Amino acid sequence: MSRHAPRQLTGPLNERLRTARLLAGLSQEKLAPRVGVTLRTIQRWEDGASEPKASQVTALAMALGVATSDFYPRDPEPTEMAA
């Protein structure tokens, strides 16, 4: 399966989900059955009204051709502290 989304999606989870879906060329209506949820659930996730469970994030990643880690922020690079 090829990756449709960039290696690093940015922003909160709801924005990452919307971006990945659009880059995959899927409507909310087409994504919902691939993940096993209703259209309303996809809408609520993308609106930020609720968040998917871990198992649902896995299903989303598979349906969108991205890694599950693409939905979560990366740890910031360590910076040297001034003495």
Per residue of the chain (83 residues), what is the pLDDT tens digit?
444 444 567 789 999 999 999 999 999 999 999 999 999 999 999 999 999 999 999 999 999 999 999 988 776 656 665 55
**Residue 58 in domain:** yes
**Residue 19 in domain:** no
What is this structure's pTM?
0.78
**Residue 64 in domain:** yes
**Residue 22 in domain:** no
Domains: count for the chain: 1
d(CA 19, CA 10) in angstroms, rounded, equals 9
CATH number (domain holding residue 49): 1.10.260.40
**Residue 4 in domain:** no
Domain extent for 42:
27-71
**Residue 11 in domain:** no
**Residue 67 in domain:** yes
* 32-62 burial code (b ≥16 CB/10 A, e <16): beebebeeebbebbbeeeeebeeeebebbbe
